[in-house]
């Protein structure tokens, strides 16, 4: 079987969004609404913010508007890795916030525990499994880097990471490409991403949040003592507003240069047969990711399919988010070839779904926060592909900022300071293109980073999916 034939039946739609449990869309807003808190965006960021707002104060009136349907964008088409890390991994946290890292790790662990508790409390059926994640090395230099990170984590007192040699990692998941790995046993859960979004939607409704779908927020303006958001068929007047729009252009225009969209793509296989499962192992059902700059992420689903995604990170010129970019056959073909190189024992397996979507990337790889309009509007953006878990933390930060509270979250340098913005076009296009070329070259040269990447490292800049 050629790699191309494995894709012949693949449907160009996100696997998760075809789930039969998908709820019907709620009506659009028509006319005017008034509320204490308006949440803009029906992905994880907005849903967690609305839910937490009602948990903090059940009397607070909350409205959420979503331009399409809840969970249709990144929240319904990601890999389903729900990580404790708020910093896009320990290494990025060490490089950027060493003084706050212990607190960031503690807050991240508490945040993941709170997500697990909320899933149980609200009865959200999203296949939540606290299986952890293994970062695997497929080149000797990557194994050296994982070993150094493990040693540094131990020196700093961060437990829960287990270094695996070649035999140990292949005993967990068998691929001839694996040379070793670093297993975070407790810091990552696997879940069905769309069902999490739909479950949060139901929980919000049960607590009294009014949700309007197919209601695009068009602009933001002061209105008396509060703010007003104009929508397609009406307006919402609110005392406070939380923006969870992430990859889509912010209603606070000065924030737009801080993020760029990066398109990421994934494949989903048909369910594995018992013999195929036996051939690869994977009995502990961890998430996996390889350690290259152009990396893959992969996991096994509740019905024994394999999701395989990543590698290409495609930036559209001008940073425009368009439906045409949601599919890229040349990337699907590349991913299929790389899948069978990783798992040659699965030759003959077919892919049933292939899709893509946009991630909001910022130059420090992890979320940033702030307020506008005299503290009446808060925003969080830039999660860079690690938002399944971190968006709940971001919702707490936005509510802290809107309530004017000083908390252990708002005192963090990560919250108080922003990343560097991306430059305007055509400089952004040229710089991102050079960075992608340099990252691919580093992967091919044993991890050696050229002058451009070393300069970006010194400036604290980056580009990642």
Structural contact between residues 358 and 381, judged by C-beta atoms closer than 8 angstroms:
no
Residue 23 and residue 388: Cα distance in Å, rounded?
Answer: 20
What is the pLDDT at residue 428?
A: 86
What is the pLDDT at residue 212?
A: 98
451 vs 375: which has the higher pLDDT: 375
Domains and their CATH numbers in the chain: 3-13+128-191+260-362 (3.30.9.10), 432-459 (no CATH)
Q: What is the pLDDT of residues 323-377, one digit of tens each?
A: 999 999 999 999 999 999 999 999 999 999 999 999 999 999 999 999 999 999 9
The band of 72, judged by pLDDT with boundaries at 50, 70 and 90, is very high
Residue 414 and residue 395: Cα distance in Å, rounded?
Answer: 15
Q: Residue 450 above 90 pLDDT? A: no
Taking residues 229-245, report their average pLDDT.
97
What is the pLDDT at residue 408?
A: 97
Q: Residue 131 above 90 pLDDT? A: yes
Q: Residue 1 above 60 pLDDT? A: no
The band of 449, judged by pLDDT with boundaries at 50, 70 and 90, is confident
What is the pLDDT at residue 454?
A: 81
What is the pLDDT at residue 215?
A: 98
What is the pLDDT at residue 3?
A: 82
Residue 288 and residue 236: Cα distance in Å, rounded?
Answer: 43
Structural contact between residues 27 and 231, judged by C-beta atoms closer than 8 angstroms:
no
What is the pLDDT at residue 462?
A: 65
The band of 133, judged by pLDDT with boundaries at 50, 70 and 90, is very high
Q: Residue 461 above 80 pLDDT? A: no
Residue 12 and residue 432: Cα distance in Å, rounded?
Answer: 27
């Amino acid at each position: 079987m050629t790699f191309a034939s494995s894709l012949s039946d693949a449907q160009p739609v996100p696997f998760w969004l075809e789930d039969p449990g998908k709820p019907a869309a709620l009506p659009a807003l028509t006319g005017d609404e008034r509320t204490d808190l308006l949440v803009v965006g029906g992905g994880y960021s907005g849903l967690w913010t609305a839910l937490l707002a009602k948990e903090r104060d059940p009397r607070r009136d909350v409205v959420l508007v979503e331009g399409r349907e809840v969970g249709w964008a990144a929240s319904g088409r990601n890999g389903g890795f729900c990580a404790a890390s708020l910093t896009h991994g320990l290494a990025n946290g060490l490089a950027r916030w060493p003084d706050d890292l212990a607190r960031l790790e503690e807050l991240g662990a508490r945040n993941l525990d709170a997500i697990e508790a909320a899933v149980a409390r609200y009865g959200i059926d999203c296949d939540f499994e606290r299986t952890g994640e293994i970062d695997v090395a497929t080149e000797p230099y990557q194994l050296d880097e994982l070993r150094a990170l493990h040693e540094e984590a131990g020196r700093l007192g961060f437990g829960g990471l287990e270094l695996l040699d070649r035999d140990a990692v292949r005993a967990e998941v068998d691929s001839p490409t694996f040379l070793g790995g670093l297993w975070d046993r407790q810091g990552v859960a696997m879940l069905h991403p769309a069902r999490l979004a739909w479950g949060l939607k139901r929980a919000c409704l049960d607590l009294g949040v009014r949700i309007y779908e197919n209601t695009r927020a068009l602009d933001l303006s002061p209105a008396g003592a509060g703010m007003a958001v104009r929508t397609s068929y009406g307006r919402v007047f609110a005392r406070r507003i939380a923006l969870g729009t992430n990859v889509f252009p912010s209603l606070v225009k000065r924030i737009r240069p801080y993020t760029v969209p990066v398109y990421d793509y994934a494949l989903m296989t048909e369910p594995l047969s018992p013999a195929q499962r036996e051939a690869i192992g994977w009995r502990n059902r961890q998430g996996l990711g390889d350690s290259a700059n152009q990396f893959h992420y992969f996991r096994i689903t509740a019905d024994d399919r394999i999701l395989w995604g990543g590698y290409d990170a495609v930036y559209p010129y001008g940073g425009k988010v368009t439906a045409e970019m949601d599919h890229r056959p040349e990337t699907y073909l590349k991913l299929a070839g790389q899948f069978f190189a990783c798992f040659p024992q699965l030759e003959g397996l077919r892919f049933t779904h292939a899709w893509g979507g946009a991630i909001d990337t910022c130059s420090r790889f992890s979320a940033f926060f702030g307020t506008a309009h005299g503290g009446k509007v808060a925003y969080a953006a830039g999660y860079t592909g690690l938002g399944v878990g971190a968006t709940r933390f971001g919702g707490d930060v936005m509510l802290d900022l809107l309530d004017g509270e000083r908390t252990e979250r708002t005192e963090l340098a990560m919250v108080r300071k922003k990343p560097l913005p991306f430059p305007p076009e055509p400089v952004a296009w040229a710089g991102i293109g050079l960075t992608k070329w340099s990252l691919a070259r580093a992967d091919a040269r044993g991890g050696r980073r050229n002058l451009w990447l070393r300069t970006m490292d010194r400036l604290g800049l980056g580009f990642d999916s």
